[in-house]
Amino acid sequence: MKKIRNLSAPVLAAGLLAGCATVPYTGRSQLSLMPDSEVMAMSRASYREVLAESEVVTAGPRAAMVTEAGRRIAGAAEAFLRDEGLAGPAGSFEWEFALIDDDETVNAWAMPGGKIAVYTGILPLAADETGLAVVLGHEVAHALANHGRERLSQLLLFQLGTTGLELALSEEPETTRDLWLTAFGLGAQVGLLLPYSRVQEYEADRIGLILTARAGYDPRAAVPFWERMRAQGETEFLEFLSTHPSSRKRIAEIEAMMPEALQYYRPR
């Protein structure tokens, strides 16, 4: 893989102008240098690789709970995009929710296009289907906001620059794949994503609470969930916390977001 190199301000500006998108609902501008078709193709392949190397739970009450909560959260996401006037992008998501049998891994993650994985280790802290919906709402929000594509675009720009980017996309697909593996942490250990930025995390919290509420789950379950995560993290390292930083400040931010989310809550 090519090393990071310093880029001049004009080069960076050109790259930023070359591809920009807008995050649904929040309206934040984000870097978007990869075509959706290519991102989706890599996401499908990587997701299949993860599942092939994992023990996937396909039957039983835990798998049924993931399927049901995922179905409802994905439905809320599609409705969310339609209401935001983004019905076109909604069709580009191919929602899949897999439960991986690994009680030692307290984790969940999302790849672009709606490829979601949950590890059985997080289920005790989720406590029930509503807590699981909080987790899935947050992860689906990352997919909905195209945070994965944004992170990959940032890596592409800073690693290759605009000239190298054009070459890599057209003639060096292996370079693009190497950067994909770096962006999603798949080169060293399958299924562990590199940390999102604080902006992306809070963005996923906000959108995720709304999705949870729109799916008919009480978003107030997010506060005790994150309190359990924080308490657990004080005694042992949790992989989920390595990519989803939990803190008193974060819980306070979620509490501040709650009135907005509750406007969408209709119990089922």
- Looking at the domain assignment, is residue 48 inside a domain? no
Per-residue pLDDT of the chain (268 residues; tens, 9 = 90+): 333 333 333 333 344 444 677 877 777 888 777 777 778 888 888 899 889 999 999 999 999 999 999 999 999 999 988 887 776 544 578 999 999 999 998 889 888 889 999 999 999 999 999 999 999 999 999 999 888 888 877 777 666 555 555 555 555 556 566 666 666 655 434 444 455 677 888 899 999 999 999 999 999 999 999 999 888 865 444 555 555 555 788 899 999 999 999 999 999 8
d(CA 43, CA 67): 20
d(CA 75, CA 72): 5
Token pair of 120 as six digits: 């059985």
In terms of residue numbers, what domain contains 255? 53-145+191-262
- Looking at the domain assignment, is residue 202 inside a domain? yes
- Looking at the domain assignment, is residue 186 inside a domain? no
Catalytic residue IDs:
139
Number of separate domains in the chain = 1
Token pair of 55 as six digits: 């023990």
- Looking at the domain assignment, is residue 14 inside a domain? no
- Looking at the domain assignment, is residue 32 inside a domain? no
- Looking at the domain assignment, is residue 30 inside a domain? no
pTM, two decimal places:
0.79
- Looking at the domain assignment, is residue 88 inside a domain? yes
- Looking at the domain assignment, is residue 242 inside a domain? yes
Total residues belonging to the chain: 268
| Residue 184: per-residue pLDDT | 64
